[in-house]
Each structure stands twice: as C-alpha cells, then as structure tokens.
Amino acid sequence: MPEVDPVVQQVVARHGGDPSHLLQILIEVQEVFGYLPAPSLTAVARELAVPRSRVEGVAGFYSFLYPAPIGRYRILFSDNITDQMLGSRALLEALCRKLWVEPGKPSEDGLVSIDTTSCTGLCDQGPAVLVNGRAITRLDYRRVNEIAELVRKAVPLDRWPAAFFQIEDNVRRRDALLGPTFQPGSALAAALKLGPAGWLEQMRLSGLRGRGGAGFTTHVKWKSCRDAAGPDKVVVCNADEGEPGTFKDRVLLASHAERVFEGMALAAYATGARTGLVYLRGEYRFLLEPLRALLDRMRGDGLLGRSILGEKGFDFDIDIHLGAGAYVCGEETALLESLEGKRGTPRIRPPFPVTRGYLGRPTVVNNVETLAKTTLISLGGGAAFAATGTAQSTGTKLLSISGDCALPGIYEYPFGVTIERVLEDCGAGDAQLVQVGGASGVTIAGYEFQRRIAFEDVPTAGAFMVFDSGRDPFDIARNFVHFFAHESCGFCTPCRVGTALLKGYMDKLALGRGAKVDLADIEWVDRLLRNASHCGLGSSAANPVVDTLIKFRPSYERRLKSLEFEPAFDLDAALADARRITGRDDPAAHLDGGRGR
C-alpha cells in the first residue's frame, strides 16, 4: 500500500485545499487505498485544517465510503424489488458460496466482499451489480461463475470481459426530446438571440415544471434566482437519480448529455450564474470520464468557458461532483450540503436555495430531464412546448419502465398518457399493480389503470415498475420500507425511528407473527412519519405501506397470526438457554405449551 501522507497531500492539492471538496477528496483517497484507513482521515483533516470529527462524520455517512477495510473486490448487488424479481438474491447467495464469503463480511484474505446496495438504476437490464463502482448488468448464473473465477484469479477489473459492462439505453418510445437529433450549440444560439429577458419569457410561456418529482415551475425558480441578491450565482444539475426504479437520467447523461449541459448554460444565461455543478450519483461513476470529455469538447467549441458563443460577459463553466451512495442527497438541500463536502442532511427551508444555496449563494437546482427539456423550449419556443401535454403538465415525460413487462426501458410520452396505454405499449398483459414514482410514489391498482401520468393526477419523477398477478403487494411494500430504513439520514427522530419501527412491523408480519393491532400501529407510524419528518424522505417513506394497506389489505391480513397481540419472538425458545444451563425440563420451565407442560 502506498504511503498515506503523500497520497493525501496530492489529492488535497488537486482540490486546492478546499474543505468544501471534502467528499470528493475522500472518494479519491479511497480510490487509491481501496478503503479509508484511519491515518488517511487524520491526514485529510490536517491538510484541510478541519476537525477530524468532521472528516469522520462525512466518511461515516456515505454508503460507498469505507472507514474499515473491505474486499479488494467490492461486489454490491442492486437490491431493488425489480432486481429481486429477476433473482438477484439467489445469485448473491450463489456467488457467496462460490467465493466462501458471507454477505456483508470481507473474506479473511481481504480479496472480496459481497453485499447489497440500494437501486443502481439498471432495472431494465438487471439483475445488476457494482464491482468497485463499475456496473455489470444482466447477471445470471453463468456470469456469476465467471465473476467468481475472475475474482479468484485476481484479474484486474480492466481485463474483465467488456460485455459485462455493456449498458443499453433501451429507448423504446421517442417523442419531442429523444426523437430529433440535436445540433450542439443551437439551443444556446437561439436563446442568445432573445436576450436573457426574452429567453426567460419563453420559459414562462412553456409552463415547464421540474421533472425531479416535485414539479415546481422552472421559470419561477430561475427568475427568483436571477432576482436574488448576490453576484456569484450557481446552477446545479441534480443527477442523483436514487429513486428506486428510475433510470431515465442515466440514459440522458449517457446519450443526450449535450442537451443537459446546454440546458445548464441556458439556466446560467437566464439567471446570470457563472458556476455550474453536476451532482452525479456514485452509482453512475462510469459516466464520469465520458461526461468530462464532453465538457472539454464543449469548452473547445465555445459552448462553455468565457464569452460563450462570443457573447461578452456570458461566462459559465461546469464541474462534476460525485455522490457516494446516499439516496437522501437527491433532496435538493441535502444535495447542496453534500456538494459542500458535508454529510447529506437536508436543510430547513426557507431560505430556499434560490436565495441561499450552494455556499450561501443563490442557486438553481434542476433535474437532469428538466434541463434537457429547456433546449426544446429554446429551439421551438415556449408556446410550441406548451402545446403538448395537459394544462398543468406541459411537454413530454420520460418514464423508466421495469418489472413484469416484455419491453422494459425508456418511454417518452406527452403528459396525460393513461397508465393503461403505457402498460399496453411495454407489453404488460397481466399487471395487477404499478408503482409510479418509485418507492416514495403511488401504488396504482388495476381499477385505476385509466388514470393519467400528469401533475394533476399521478405525478412522477419517472419510475414505473410493473408487477403482475404473481407478485405479492406486501413483499413490494416491505422492500420499499427496508429501503427507506436503510436510507434515512438519521438526522430527525421521526424518520430515523419511524422507518425502523415500520421495518420491524413489516418483518414481524412477514414472519407470520403479526396481529390485527399491528396494522393499527403501522397506520399510526405512517401518520407520524408523514406529519413529523424533517424532509420528504421521511414523509413519503410511508407511502407504499399506506397505499397497499388501502388497496391490497388482504395481502397484509393473510399474514396475521391472531387478532390478539403476539410477541415477535418465541417465548419458550427464549427459555432454552436457561433450561440447558440448569438441566431443567419441568412444566414450569416452559411457556406457551412447550414440552413438559
């Protein structure tokens, strides 16, 4: 292993000794050592002149940072319900058996560790794993055998078969955004002709709303940022696509990144921002180099940098920050904290980012798809954009479709499309339930399939997971509850404790030890989560349970053992140790009709 101090000094120097780059520094230090040895944390703290506790706090927050030694090959199985439905759990067990390791524990020789991770955004080509941050798709037993062999022979990842790492776009339906070819620079040139005010007016006419889920009107956000006090404004692209079942941003960044980056420049032109930041989720690490290369090309073409397209005073450039496996960082204020190199704990709003965002500067945070859409508005005009979709949801929406359907992938539809129509197009003939909007979204039962994808009816950030009649709605909800318990940032008690309680109840039911009163308690915890949580993660964590309890209640009730209370554990078994120690087996040494009674 290389010496700690020179490595740390080099990495810190590369980031100009800026403590707001702490997360990026830790990610890069870890790339050298495979994990974050304690001396490296001390060295980072010393070099940045920040308390060691702060460094450790960050290192301990993110799933993809490892303060303790971990396998030289870190294999993480995506644990979304869609991966599980494709057999990921059995494949994980098979790989563990082949390599003689237990899930979550590095092998004794430090060669390999195998564990699960939250959805990696490859639901349309799962089951997926990340090996040292690189995504492998379409796992099957053959591939598992090959991986086991490669790991055993310690073959460097670069020499693994390229087919493993092949990631498809799987675009199945193209509309306004994915259809036409895009001439780089054309959208910016069109906006420059209008001037900043004229451009913002087109944005107003378009009625574009945020595609990240919340649906806030984009031009209002931009205008607030433009009008906010402070000279050094920021445009942030939220590419922390962590919602289970969503992967449209991956496809946009893989094949339409010119539009996304140009959208950021368009936002900068409207707001007067000079700094652009992309927050790319750690799971999409494989996109980093191609995106950096594209940024270089755009600089060369005069689309980024000083005096963009010759426009004096229009200076804007973009940097990319990596996330490290924290779903909560998709929440915009947690994302800003993370960009500043801190733990991803959501802030209290107001103040909103448009007035006090990244490092206290006025900041626009937009979703990848939102930014890509702005190029359409610039090219075709706001009114033309607003001509498709519905009254309050203009334009088109990308859906990430996965689960029980013949043709999973990306579908672009005008807003207002019915769920029925989507199911027909993706070849889902036997759907009994659709989870729209991911784990935090809405559970749609069969009798609602005529409902429409739009902010007025079923809003979504894009996830569309299909479940056929062979699936158990309880299992689906339980998977999401586990997800939220894992991803709760731990900052506020209602969410930290509430998600853990909910997980406990769902596990108890899964064991067949549930009682009627547990359902009442679940509903009580749901209300508590909704009303008392600090951010959207906690308040939406109960959604899948609330919805399935209403729409698929028998799936819960059939798991109940009794209408009375039952302990979650076997009381007679709990006496077993004492029976063994004392050698007793008389009736009083048993509970609940154990032997001897």
Binding stretches for another protein (CB under 8 A): 517, 564-565, 567-569, 571, 573-584, 586, 588-591
Of the pair 108, 577, the CB lying nearest another protein is at: 577
CA max distance for the chain: 93
- The token pair that represents 330 in the structure block: 């998709």
Secondary structure (3-state) at 360: helix
Minimum Å distance from CB 272 to another protein?
47
Minimum Å distance from CB 590 to another protein?
8
| Cα 445 to Cα 473: distance, rounded to the nearest angstrom | 10
- The token pair that represents 585 in the structure block: 């087996």
Of the pair 163, 571, the CB lying nearest another protein is at: 571
Minimum Å distance from CB 87 to another protein?
35
Of the pair 158, 564, the CB lying nearest another protein is at: 564
Of the pair 111, 501, the CB lying nearest another protein is at: 501
| Cα 436 to Cα 331: distance, rounded to the nearest angstrom | 18
Minimum Å distance from CB 583 to another protein?
6
CA distances in angstroms from 354 to 260, 342, 351, listed in the order given:
20, 20, 8
Minimum Å distance from CB 498 to another protein?
16
Residue 171, beta-bridge partner list: 410
Neighbour tally for 146: CB within 10 Å: 14
The candidate with the shortest Cα–Cα distance to 100, out of 117, 114, 79, 84, is 114
Secondary structure (3-state) at 574: helix
Minimum Å distance from CB 177 to another protein?
53
Strands 234-239 and 275-280, by their bridges, are: parallel
Q: Are the C-beta atoms of 261 and 294 separated by less than 8 Å?
A: yes
> CA-based angle 37:41:43, to the nearest 5?
110
Of the pair 6, 567, the CB lying nearest another protein is at: 567
Of the pair 553, 584, the CB lying nearest another protein is at: 584
H or E, element range at 342: none
DSSP string, 42-57: HHHHHHHT--HHHHHH
> CA-based angle 342:348:354, to the nearest 5?
85
Minimum Å distance from CB 228 to another protein?
38
Of the pair 383, 576, the CB lying nearest another protein is at: 576
Of the pair 141, 569, the CB lying nearest another protein is at: 569
Minimum Å distance from CB 571 to another protein?
6
Minimum Å distance from CB 479 to another protein?
25
Of the pair 34, 504, the CB lying nearest another protein is at: 504
Minimum Å distance from CB 581 to another protein?
5
Of the pair 220, 576, the CB lying nearest another protein is at: 576
| Cα 122 to Cα 432: distance, rounded to the nearest angstrom | 23
| Cα 543 to Cα 172: distance, rounded to the nearest angstrom | 29
Q: Which residue has the tokens 């506790």?
A: 53
> CA-based angle 561:565:567, to the nearest 5?
85
| Cα 335 to Cα 279: distance, rounded to the nearest angstrom | 8
Residue 468, beta-bridge partner list: 431
